[in-house]
Amino acid sequence: MRKDSRLSRMLHVLVHMHHLEQAVTSDNIAIMLGTNPVVVRRTMSLLREQGYVNAVKGHGGGWTLAKPLHCITLLDIHRSLSEASLFTIGLTDEHTNCPIEKAVNLAIDDVLHEAGQLVLRRFAEVTLDKLAVEYTAKLS
Amino acid sequence: MRKDSRLSRMLHVLVHMHHLEQAVTSDNIAIMLGTNPVVVRRTMSLLREQGYVNAVKGHGGGWTLAKPLHCITLLDIHRSLSEASLFTIGLTDEHTNCPIEKAVNLAIDDVLHEAGQLVLRRFAEVTLDKLAVEYTAKLS
DNA sequence: AACTCATGTAACATAAAAAGTTTCTTAAAA
DNA sequence: TTTTAAGAAACTTTTTATGTTACATGAGTT
Arithmetic mean of pLDDT, A6-13: 94
Instruction: Look at A99 and B2 and tell me if their CB atoms are within 8 Å.
Output: no
Q: Where are the domains of chain B?
A: 6-139
Q: What is the pLDDT of residue A140?
A: 45
B34 touches chain A (CB under 8 A): yes
How does DSSP classify residue A53?
E
Instruction: Look at A104 and B11 and tell me if their CB atoms are within 8 Å.
Output: yes
Q: What is the pLDDT of residues A26-60, one digit of tens each?
A: 999 999 999 999 999 999 999 999 999 999 999 99
A139 touches chain B (CB under 8 A): no
Q: What is the pLDDT of residue B47?
A: 96
Do residues A59 and A23 touch, judged by C-beta distance below 8 A?
no
CA of B62 to C1' of D27 (A): 11
Q: What is the pLDDT of residue B134?
A: 57
What is the DSSP code string of chain B?
A: ---B-HHHHHHHHHHHHHHH-S-B-HHHHHHHHTS-HHHHHHHHHHHHHTTSEEEE-STT-EEEESS-GGG-BHHHHHHHH--S-SBSB----S-TT-HHHHHHHHHHHHHHHHHHHHHHHHHHH-BHHHHHHHHHHHH-
**pLDDT confidence bin for A110, thresholds 50/70/90:** very high
Q: Quickly count: other Cβ atoms within 10 Å of residue B6's Cβ.
A: 21
Contacts of A130 in chain B (CB under 8 A): 103, 107
- Helix, coil or strand: residue A56: strand
Determine how β-strand A53-56 pairs with β-strand A62-65: antiparallel
Q: For residue B139, what are the contacts with CB-CB under 8 A and spacing of at least 6?
A: none
Report how far residue B87's alpha carbon sits from residue A10's, in angstroms, rounded to the nearest whole number.
Answer: 18
Q: What is the pLDDT of residue A80?
A: 95
**pLDDT confidence bin for A88, thresholds 50/70/90:** very high
Q: Is the pLDDT of residue A134 over 70?
A: no
| Dihedral angle over CA of B98, A24, A20, A122, nearest 10 | -60
CA distance B128 to chain A (A): 9
Q: For residue A108, what are the contacts with CB-CB under 8 A and spacing of at least 6?
A: A89, A91, B7, B8, B11, B74
Residues in chain B where the model's pLDDT stays below 70: 134-140
Arithmetic mean of pLDDT, A114-134: 91
Q: For residue B105, what are the contacts with CB-CB under 8 A and spacing of at least 6?
A: A8, B91, B92, B93
Q: What is the pLDDT of residues B12-50, one digit of tens each?
A: 999 999 988 799 999 999 999 999 999 999 999 999 999
Q: What is the pLDDT of residue A139?
A: 46
Comparing A60 with A138, which gets the higher pLDDT? A60
CATH class of A6-139: mainly alpha
Report how far residue A16's alpha carbon sits from residue A6's, in angstroms, rounded to the nearest whole number.
Answer: 15
Chain B contacts in chain A segment 52-91 (CB below 8 A): 74, 78, 82, 84-91
